[in-house]
Amino acid sequence: MVATAVDGYGPSRGGVVPTVTEHRRSGGAFAMIRPSMRDLQWRRRRFAVAVVGAGVLFGLTLAMTGISAGFNAEAAHTVGSLRVDEWVVGHGAVGPFLGSSVMTETRIDEVENLPGVVRAVNTVFTRKDIPVNGQPTDVNVFGAPPGSLAMPAVSSGHQPVAPGQIAMSTKFPGVELGEHVLLAGHPFTVVGTVDGSTALAGVPNVFLTLADAQLVAFDGAPVVSAIAVEGSVGDDLPPDLTVVSNQAAQNDLLRALKQARSSIYLTAVLSWIVAALIIGSVVYLSIIERLRDFAVFKAIGVSTRSILGGLSLQATVLSLGAAIIGMGVGALLGTKLALPVSISWQTYALLPIVAIVVGLLASLIGIRIAVSVDPAAAFGGP
């Protein structure tokens, strides 16, 4: 074994044991860079499998993070498109949508006359379905009087202004202007489309006049879900009514996704753990197979710091390779998933850093074994 260290790089232990001359020439601090790179080359198939496996898991984690962020972006986009400043809801309600409490439509008279209110309109929200090829497709139903407040701008056609008219999200399958749809058993004609409007994890939004929404949601009863306000209601609101902000309205939409987000978070954590185990196990196996080599390194004067640096470099290269693959996988999944996915450039930039930290932490056990090996093992028997 000593002869191997003196004569040069040999295949017996991965072909990575340097000569004394090579070690002195390398300058100590960088003594392990070339052996570490040679070991990656020697075991390239094993390392390639580890990089691809960890990369797929990193990509899955990236997609899961994007889905969670996509839920927030989706709710913010939906609420923002309604161009409302504040929402007035009934007693006990936490929001104008899922957490609403119905109230009579005449309550708007008490809100319209408040000094800070520029305009107020009654609104309705409910969830129904529209049959597509005989199968029900869920939709979120928003209702408001014709006009700009609480009704989004359309990308084609026009807003519903008469009974039996509907504006639909372009995310609804096969939507076309002039098409006839059956919403909760009531016929409607598509007169407008709203670009990419969804809520509650990719469910398409549809928009009706207030009267039609009351017909669909409450069988025509003169009740509403909330009052949309342009301006500010101030402090003179009746005690049995509550004002909520747009942020509270977004949180109201997100409440239904709380359990889903917890599951996504757990999946992401498990993906990180499995990816760490893949990188850590590969580095560990490589170290176990090369323990005699590390004893030789120490016997010829390679410092523990240099050995630590070389092994850390291996873990870093593996982690970076996996992170690059993970970026590609995450971007691909983002275009294929039906759920809203929002992956920011900050998330992409953070992935390599997190991957390196995870890889180094996962490799600590193997690295500790390598740096604590006894130099005398270089002179032992097989």
Q: Is residue 245 part of a domain?
A: no
Give every CB contact of residue 354 below 8 A, 6+ residues apart in sequence: none
pLDDT at residue 7 greater than cutoff 50: no
Average pLDDT of the residues of the chain: 87
Q: Is residue 264 part of a domain?
A: yes
Backbone angles phi, psi at 128, to 5 degrees: -135, -170
Confidence bin at 229 (pLDDT 50/70/90)? very high
pLDDT score of 220: 95
Do 200 and 142 belong to one domain? yes
Do 150 and 285 belong to one domain? no
Number of compact structural domains in the chain: 2
Of 185, 183, 227, the closest CA to residue 208 belongs to 183
pLDDT score of 171: 94
Q: Which of 10-14, 46-50, 77-81, 233-237 has the highest mean pLDDT?
A: 77-81
Dist. CA 286–CA 46, nearest whole Å: 10
pLDDT score of 15: 45
Confidence bin at 91 (pLDDT 50/70/90)? confident
Do 50 and 136 belong to one domain? no
Q: Is residue 61 part of a domain?
A: yes
Do 131 and 224 belong to one domain? yes
Higher-pLDDT residue of 371, 250: 250
Q: Is residue 29 part of a domain?
A: yes
pLDDT score of 358: 87
Range of the domain at 19: 2-72+259-379
Give CA 63 to chain center in angstroms.
5
pLDDT score of 149: 93
Sign of the C-alpha dihedral, residues 281, 285, 288, 290? negative
pLDDT at residue 380 greater than cutoff 70: no
Q: Looking at 214, 231, 248, which one is the last position of a domain?
A: 231
pLDDT score of 2: 37
pLDDT score of 378: 64
Percentage of residues of the chain with pLDDT beyond 70: 90
Confidence bin at 83 (pLDDT 50/70/90)? very high
Confidence bin at 381 (pLDDT 50/70/90)? low
Of 172, 166, 167, 146, the closest CA to residue 155 belongs to 167
Do 192 and 103 belong to one domain? yes
pLDDT at residue 76 greater than cutoff 50: yes
What is the CB neighbour count within 10 angstroms for residue 4?
19
The whole model's pTM is what? Answer: 0.79
Do 129 and 224 belong to one domain? yes
pLDDT at residue 27 greater than cutoff 60: no
Lowest-confidence pick of 12-26, 184-198, 294-308: 12-26
Q: Which H or E run includes 167?
A: strand 165-169
Do 135 and 193 belong to one domain? yes
pLDDT score of 1: 37
Confidence bin at 23 (pLDDT 50/70/90)? very low
pLDDT score of 284: 86
pLDDT score of 286: 82
Residue range 323-340: mean pLDDT, rounded: 91
Is the Cβ–Cβ distance between 228 and 143 less than 8 Å? no
Of 149, 105, 144, 103, the closest CA to residue 125 belongs to 144
Mind listing the pLDDT tens digit for each residue in 176-190? 999 999 999 999 999
Q: Is residue 19 part of a domain?
A: yes
pLDDT at residue 175 greater than cutoff 80: yes
Residue range 241-266: mean pLDDT, rounded: 93
Do 92 and 149 belong to one domain? yes
Do 265 and 213 belong to one domain? no
Dist. CA 189–CA 381, nearest whole Å: 86
Do 188 and 115 belong to one domain? yes
pLDDT at residue 8 greater than cutoff 70: no
β-strands 165-169, 186-194: how paired? parallel
- What SS3 state is found at 243? strand
pLDDT at residue 260 greater than cutoff 70: yes
Q: Is residue 236 part of a domain?
A: no
Distances (CA, A) of 149 to 84, 209, 231, 319: 6, 12, 11, 50
pLDDT at residue 63 greater than cutoff 60: yes
